[in-house]
Structure 1
Amino acid sequence: MALSKTVYNLLFRRTSTFAVTIIVGAVFFERVFDQGGDAVFEQMNRGKLWKHIKHNYENKNEE
């Protein structure tokens, strides 16, 4: 109960801190969700993406 009271007093008691908490939380969630989605996409498509196969198609100039 003490933890919830502390969180309430620090983040949710005033409207200004509540709004900042919501905005920071939304930005943080968006970043985590985006990076997680990219990681899942790359894992599912490993070996099919250009960055994984471009070495097969690049010209190597030997002098």
Structure 2
Amino acid sequence: MAGLASTIYNSLIRKNTVFLTTIFASAFVFELGFDSISNRVWDSFNQGRQWKDIRHKYVQAEEDEE
């Protein structure tokens, strides 16, 4: 366990620039993942009630009227 901690410290935390880059990259990846999962949950809860689900009813009706 001490070897793993030493490896992490030497590769990611020892230099301030590498540490900050690691933090910003991790935050960016977390944001992408969280956003993707949130959108999937939102779409599953609201399936059939969103514009992308009912658009075909109204777009087709407009084309028939013209």
| Smaller-chain TM-score bracket | 0.7 to 0.9
Task: Tell me what 1:45 maps to.
Answer: 46
DSSP 3-state at the match of 2:59 = coil
Of stretches 17-26 and 51-60 in structure 1, the one that deviates more from structure 2 is: 51-60
What TM-score do the two structures reach when normalised by structure 1? 0.82
Task: Tell me what 2:14 maps to.
Answer: 13
What TM-score do the two structures reach when normalised by structure 2? 0.79
The structure with more helix, counted as a fraction of residues: 2
Task: Tell me what 2:26 maps to.
Answer: 25
Letter of the 1:38 partner, please give it: N
DSSP 3-state at the match of 1:57 = helix
DSSP 3-state at the match of 1:48 = coil
Unaligned runs of 5+ in 2: none
Q: How many Å separate the matches in 1 of 2:32 and 2:11?
A: 24
| Partner deviation per Cα, 1:33-55 (whole Å, 9 max, x = no partner) | 11111111111101111111111
- Identity, in percent, stands at 38
